[in-house]
Structure 1
């Protein structure tokens, strides 16, 4: 009788070869992964510091905070801070001190050049440890003309005008006023941008330090046959000057620019413009 032998296992060599194959694949993948460079962490963007003038009118601080919230909504993840030149907390030196030596772009909530833009803000920035750049003031710019137009429409300015209405209408662009000639130049440019947009004359006038005053500009336009004269408020926030100018309006008076969405877009534009200029200079 022939002795029986247990059946030979065919699976052992197969399992060994499979294990070797998997091990080779794992080894090759591990080698390839070692060749992949680690992800590069992008540096945090420079902080955006809104530089407001400051006011004793509590509505001004409320407005600036609302504008800051709009900027944050448009650019999530961007650090946005607030500092005032005077009258309100936080003051700009304190805001900059809290940043340490971080990078920051200071965006003045001012509508023209002048002493604050040329002297006050650079002086405070130079005294801080933070690595700062100061952006251009908000005005003049076509986005400001857009926001001024929107505020006029809210106050009752017609969406459309025929020729007769245009010939009898005009706008006084009421600004704070300054003895700095650059400020007057910028305000006149802002008036021209708004005039181009509206198709009617726009005369710059001032609450202080410059002429003509708002009542003088209104009277001159009325005497020239412009009987529907509106006052556009060239102020970033409510306050004493803005209220005085509005009271001189014989027809409609627009609200200050305030926290209009276009203002938030313009702030981010000035921030990006400053960074782009820095990149160009570095190249």
Structure 2
């Protein structure tokens, strides 16, 4: 079968790469016959280009690169295609198909929701304010995706409010989001996670929430949720079935 190369951003925090590998263990358990390999764009190893080199060295002429990214921001639009194009220049006989990013998809909403409930958030609490925390991007559609998830959560609960907040590059930041929720009557707070893995940015959001709200509930990242693993395989199958052209910068 065509190998699946799942590429994440990478982090200086070793928990991040370990969590990505844990997710891919779930993917392998769901489809044991599939050759699944982890890769990273930066800060963690192995890098995407090195994994593509290894795939060709193992005799494969095709591969699917699947971005483990939650939206089509800079890394999906620029970094992944650039790394793939460079590998194809080194290996003209290697055909690389690039799958779609993970988001948006209801399976991500469900995974983040489960993590929030596991942290203790009560959907029937009218004094609970929920911050759905994402990385933040200069690409507005990526931020809007997080805000839309928060709006869907608010519509299905009795919460005082649910708003998106971002670690960097977008508004509202955590202090501003807390003030928005207080203005809506929130007296208790929880932080939902629109992150796939732990790392510096989720930690920053959690600390800012603790600084501004005492002891908020903090959800874990989506990580190795089975529905996220199922989504990875779905994106792989789509890449195969749609017969995508090789990526180009």
What TM-score does the superposition give when structure 2 sets the normalisation length?
A: 0.86
Q: For residues 135-154 of structure 1, what are the structure 2 equivalents within 5 Å?
A: 135-154=99-118
Hey, what does 2:4 align to over in structure 1?
48
1:178 Cα deviation after fit: 1.0
Report the counterpart of residue 179 of structure 1 in structure 2: 138
Which consecutive unaligned segments of at least 5 residues does structure 2 have? 245-249
Contact 1:222-1:229 at 8 Å conserved across structures:
no
Q: Quick one: structure 1 residues 133 and 253, their matched pair in 2 at CA, closer, same or farther if it must change by over 3 Å?
A: same
Deviation at 1:190, TM superposition (A): 3.2
The CA distance in 2 between the partners of 1:204 and 1:98, in whole Å, is: 40
- In the alignment, structure 1 residue 88 sits paired with structure 2 residue 44: yes
Equivalent residues in 2 for 1:92-131 (5 A)?
92-100=48-56, 102-128=61-87, 129=91, 130-131=94-95
RMSD value, Cα: 1.8
The question of 1:245 aligning with 2:201 is answered no
Query: Could you tell me which residue of structure 1 aligns to residue 242 of structure 2?
Result: 277
Counterpart secondary structure, 2:180? helix
Residue range with higher mean Cα deviation, 192-201 or 130-139:
192-201
TM-score by length of 1: 0.76
1:225 to 185, 205, 227: 185
Question: Do the aligned residues in 2 keep the contact of 1:112 with 1:187 (CA within 8 Å)?
Answer: no
Structure 2 residue 194 is the aligned partner of structure 1 residue 234: yes
Report the Cα distance in structure 1 between the residues aligned to 2:44 and 2:229, rounded to whole angstroms.
Answer: 21
Task: Measure the CA separation in 2 of the matches of 1:112 and 1:192.
Answer: 17
Stretch moving more, 96-105 or 213-222: 96-105
CA distance in 1, matches of 2:49, 2:157: 40
Q: d(CA) in 1 for partners of 2:175 and 2:103?
A: 23
Instruction: Find the counterpart in structure 2 of residue 212 from structure 1.
Output: 172
Gaps of 5+ in 1: 1-44
Counterparts of 1:210 and 1:228, CA distance in 2: 24
Q: CA deviation at 1:99?
A: 1.3
The corresponding residue for 2:247 is none
Q: Name the residue aligned to 1:265.
A: 230
Cα deviations by residue, 1:225-273 (Å, 9 ceiling, x for unpaired): 1223211011111111101212205331101111222211111111122
- Cα distance change, pair 169–75 in 1 and its aligned pair in 2 (3 A): same
Whole-Å separation in 1 of the counterparts to 2:77 and 2:240: 19
CA deviation after TM superposition for structure 1 residue 69, in Å: 0.6
Counting matched residue pairs gives 230
Q: What does residue 32 of structure 2 align with?
A: 76
